[in-house]
Amino acid sequence: MSTISDEEAARRWRLVLGRYAADQLSVGQQDEGLERSLRYLYDREYTARGHRVGTGRGEGGAAAGRGAGLGASQPHGVDVTALGWLNEAGSLFPRETFERMQVDAVSRYGLTELLQDEAAIEALEPSRELAVAMLQVRGALNDQAAAGLRRVIQRVVEDIVKRLRTRFTTAVNGRIDRSRRSMHRVARNFDWKRTLRANLGRVDAEGRMTVQDVRFSSRAKRTLTWDVILLVDQSGSMAPSLLYSAVCAGILSGLPGINVQLYLFDTSVVDMSHLADDPVAVLMTAQLGGGTDIARAVRHAEQQVRNPSRTVVALVSDFYEGGSVSSLLTTVRRMASSGVTMLGLAALDEAAEPVYDQGTARHLAECGMEVAALTPERFAEWLGEVLS
């Protein structure tokens, strides 16, 4: 177990406590920049509680009472704009720490000026956490800040799409057909089992195989269209899943043989199908927060079903039902009996660590809905298995 010296421990506590520990702990010259950046952001914690934030000392250098001070909360000797803070903090802290500070700046301390300065927007480090924090405060933004938010969301979405598109295309675009040899000799079509069988006669006495006949499999093309209906809970706790649901809908909309219907719901249902191919527009339109009526959303989905045996309904929710649970279960049971394939997603993001109503989830599973917490990659694989 590693230990730290008393000096290093005191240094860390000084950074945690800030100027209010100035009488007992001094800040080293090498840490002055760190303290300025931390003070600029986290002194807002004190002002939010009604404290006056200043130097922490009164007249003549005497220690002041709690919250006393003479100056404003700002980095001394540096640009006090949001851009100045971003530039300094970005150069001083590790990337993960800086990303967390950005999230706090937007979600906890309302530094919306970050979104009103073009240079500040470019200086932001786009991340899923930052996008989620911004989506949760979107309703409080003015037009200029909302435009800045759109640019940040666009960058985050582009990054996620870049990472997920290939996985969805490979998993959903067609099942592997091992009955035919493929003329497309690419890695994703490599058939290692048939290759081994074809080269079993080329194994030497030491067990080494000389591979001369490399086999590839074809991917069968779907000739019939599938309807994929995404029902996405837009309550406040679902922001990360909403982000990835919008991206998944956008990717699926670009694949052949799939008709995507996208609905966001709280106590009402909003048809976003016309925007399904534009994740940014979906996210900028969503209204996070409010109640939850899952039964209403599922009934709406049932009304859209044209061909039950070729319809997939994916419900993305935490399953905390504010409406009628009995009505929800009745509708799910009826849809499952008709042949609709149903999936309940308790989480759809990179972490796949859900907090959800396990009782309702269990009842849904008993009625014919497969319930799971999946990453977007695993969701793509699941769809590929269903649509094959």
Residues 184 and 231 in one domain: no
pLDDT in tens, 120-156: 777 777 778 778 777 766 666 678 778 888 888 999 9
Residues 25 and 13 sit within 8 Å (Cβ to Cβ): yes
pLDDT in tens, 260-274: 999 999 999 999 999
Residues 325 and 315 sit within 8 Å (Cβ to Cβ): no
Residues 180 and 230 in one domain: no
Kindly state the tokens that stand for 288: 């996070």
| pLDDT at residue 110, rounded to an integer | 58
Asked if the structure places residue 152 within a domain, the reply is yes
- 264-296 burial by CB neighbour count: b if 16+ within 10 A, else e? bbbeebeebbebbbbbbbbbbebebeeebbbbb
Asked if the structure places residue 141 within a domain, the reply is yes
Residue 89 — pLDDT band, cuts 50, 70, 90? low
pLDDT in tens, 217-276: 655 544 568 999 999 999 877 888 999 999 999 999 999 889 999 999 999 999 999 999
Residues 190 and 231 in one domain: no
Residues 188 and 123 in one domain: no
Give me the amino acid identity at 83.
Answer: L
pLDDT in tens, 314-336: 999 999 999 999 999 999 999 99
Which of 95, 91, 96, 100 lies closest to 34, judged by CA?
91
CA distances to 108, 143, 235, 310, 335 from 316, in Å: 27, 30, 11, 20, 17
Residues 235 and 369 in one domain: yes
Residues 227 and 312 sit within 8 Å (Cβ to Cβ): yes
* Residues in contact with 366: Cβ distance below 8 Å, sequence separation at least 6, in sequence order: none
Which of 139, 93, 90, 73 lies closest to 112, judged by CA?
139
Asked if the structure places residue 107 within a domain, the reply is yes
Predicted TM-score (pTM) of the model is 0.65
Asked if the structure places residue 205 within a domain, the reply is no
Our count of domains for the chain comes to 3
pLDDT in tens, 93-116: 776 776 676 666 665 655 666 677
Residues 181 and 127 in one domain: no
Residues 288 and 381 in one domain: yes
| pLDDT at residue 87, rounded to an integer | 57
Asked if the structure places residue 74 within a domain, the reply is yes
Q: Domain range holding 193?
A: 176-199+213-221
Report H helices in the chain: 6-17, 32-42, 44-48, 82-92, 95-107, 118-123, 128-136, 143-172, 192-198, 239-253, 279-285, 294-304, 325-338, 358-366, 376-387
Kindly state the tokens that stand for 326: 């009995």
pLDDT in tens, 6-53: 666 766 666 666 565 655 566 666 666 666 666 766 666 656 555 555
Taking the CA atoms of 164, 169, 174 and 177 in sequence, report the sign of the dihedral they define. negative
Asked if the structure places residue 145 within a domain, the reply is yes
Residues 32 and 89 in one domain: yes
